[in-house]
Amino acid sequence: MRQFYKDNRIVPLGIMLLTFFIFVYHFELGRQVPLGEIPAASAPNTFVVESTDPKAAAKYADETVDQPVHHTIPSPVPSAKPPISTSTSSHSLHQAKGLATDDVILMFKTGATVLWKRVPIHMATTFSPNRIDSKNIIIYSDYHETIGQWDIIDVLSNSSDKVRKSETFQPYLQQQDYEDRQNYAEMSNVPGDAAGPSGGWKLDKYKFLPIIEHAGRNKPSAKWYIFMEDDSYIFLPNLLRHLDQFDHKDPWYLGSLAWIHGDYFAHGGSGFALSRGAWEKSFGKDPKIVEKFEKFTEEHGCGDHILGHVLHEYGVQFGETTDDNRFRYGFNPESHWSTWYEPANWCKPVYSWHHTHSKDVARFYNLEQSWDFEKGPLRYRDIYEALVAPYLRPRAEWWDNWSGKYEIKSSMAASAEPPSTVKSTETWRSAWTSVDACEAACISWADCVQWSFYEDRCKMDSMVLLGNGIPEGDSRRQTSLPWVSGWLPRRIENWACQE
């Protein structure tokens, strides 16, 4: 009996070892394809086209676009979410080569009537610590607030008595009454909500000069001062790479070109960058610059124009070279869905978008965090592929993609001259007669990538734009005929970079 126990003591040990090896084997096997992760060899996005003509549908699928195809008209919603990586890995800007976020000050402008709707999303994205240190961010408003670690500066608190008597300045003086009466400007449809004092937009013009003056005096070691508004997004890695080409000691004033009253200036909603050299040449030389231009500020309506005028008065010119006022791609006064994409900007870096919704800001941030900037900047074509292409369809009803290069209406069709690449003049001049005819005219023009049709009007374009539609249940569907839009995305795939 004793010998039996001795001989069998090894059995439990053997079972334990066998169990251990099986566990290790399955653990290593499981690591190869994590649960819920899509393998790299996943199928690409495709368009599903339903057609009354099976041969025509097959012809379209084979990338032949010489003839129109009679499609059903699906809603232009993406078959999947835009392909933005949600990987937890990110590329921190603190380690960027050349100009880094520690070299810049981000001047963020908001207002009391929109702060609670627009600012929170930026606190989770734009102000993320893996993007830029909090010491390099200053938030400006027309009412003081504290949200967590963020102390929002009331940049109008030191306004002179003369400014306070201005009619357009009165909304600022009324804000405290809204606060005292528990009538908050949140617009979340709960008791106490209100839009805030009317005329809040007019207050913006008073903010620009004090913002630049304050940032420059309180952050004198900064090389660049980057301005952005609460309905915008700036791709910092791209912009830092761009600004690194310029000597910050020189007077540079860069952004999206705008023009009012004979003054060139950087459009505020697009964001802009002001070098330390530019600040020293203007605000640094005159400590009373805000007071000096009070009358000019009162007489004009836009703060970005006022700033541009003041800088010009001190010899700081807008542009990327001395006295160069040409348009530059990068800073965008519109949103990504209302901007044209074309070969001319296809490979240009994107610095900003304006008129962004909170959802847009989140998507831009996710895309930026997933991008490897050591391999190159985010370009227009990358924005197109991530946030525009997934929504394009051969046809979309109740949708206007804002085509506009050519327009053919019944009243002028007989004299409409087609582009040189169109072989059939009759096909071109018949574009106004139906949706199918409009699509056929677009296909007949080699450069056409999108079209839209309304009643007796066909529009076509060689640039691509997403545009927007009217959803089901919207009252506009009861007062309008349907717009029908379509795209030829395979032609866009053949675009090449232009210098």
> What residue segments make up the domains of the chain, in order of their start?
2-32, 51-76+393-499, 97-313
Q: What tokens were used for 457?
A: 């009007």
Query: Residue 325's pLDDT band (boundaries 50, 70, 90)?
Result: low
Q: Decide: 93 and 236 in contact? Cβ < 8 Å.
A: yes
**DSSP-derived pairing of the beta strands 352-354 and 104-109:** unpaired
Question: Can you give the pLDDT at residue 79?
Answer: 37
pLDDT at 43 over 70: no
Q: Mean pLDDT for the chain? A: 83
Q: Could you read off the pLDDT of 309-318 as tens digits, one per residue? A: 999 999 999 9
The candidate with the shortest Cα–Cα distance to 142, out of 233, 230, 248, is 230
Question: Can you give the pLDDT at residue 156?
Answer: 94
Mean pLDDT of 136-156: 96
Mean pLDDT of 416-435: 97
Choose the weakest-confidence range: 38-42, 101-105, 354-358, 439-443. 38-42
CATH architecture observed for domain 97-313? Alpha-Beta Complex (3.90)
Q: How far is residue 470's CA from residue 453's CA, in Å, rounded to a whole number?
A: 15
Question: Can you give the pLDDT at residue 202?
Answer: 83
Cβ neighbours of residue 266 closer than 8 Å, sequence gap 6 or more = 253, 254, 255, 256, 257, 258, 272, 304, 307, 308, 318, 331
pLDDT at 87 over 50: no
pLDDT at 184 over 70: yes
Q: Decide: 279 and 252 in contact? Cβ < 8 Å.
A: no
Query: Residue 186's pLDDT band (boundaries 50, 70, 90)?
Result: confident
Greatest mean pLDDT among 50-54, 68-72, 89-93, 282-286 lies in 282-286
Looking up tokens 């541009």 gives: 308
Question: Can you give the pLDDT at residue 126?
Answer: 98
Give the distance from CA 445 to its chain's centroid.
31
**DSSP-derived pairing of the beta strands 450-454 and 484-487:** antiparallel
Q: Could you read off the pLDDT of 480-489 as tens digits, one per residue? A: 999 999 999 9
Question: Can you give the pLDDT at residue 262?
Answer: 86
Q: How far is residue 310's CA from residue 308's CA, in Å, rounded to a whole number?
A: 5
Percent of the chain whose predicted confidence (pLDDT) is above 90: 68
Q: Could you read off the pLDDT of 365-378 as tens digits, one per residue? A: 999 999 999 999 99
Query: Residue 83's pLDDT band (boundaries 50, 70, 90)?
Result: very low
Mean pLDDT of 26-50: 31
Backbone angles phi, psi at 466, to 5 degrees: -75, -50
Question: Can you give the pLDDT at residue 388?
Answer: 97
Residue 83 burial (10 A CB sphere; 0-12, 13-18, 19+): middle
Question: Can you give the pLDDT at residue 81?
Answer: 44
Query: Residue 358's pLDDT band (boundaries 50, 70, 90)?
Result: very high
Mean pLDDT of 282-286: 96
Higher pLDDT, 363 or 46: 363
pLDDT at 133 over 70: yes
Choose the weakest-confidence range: 16-20, 208-212, 303-307, 345-349. 16-20
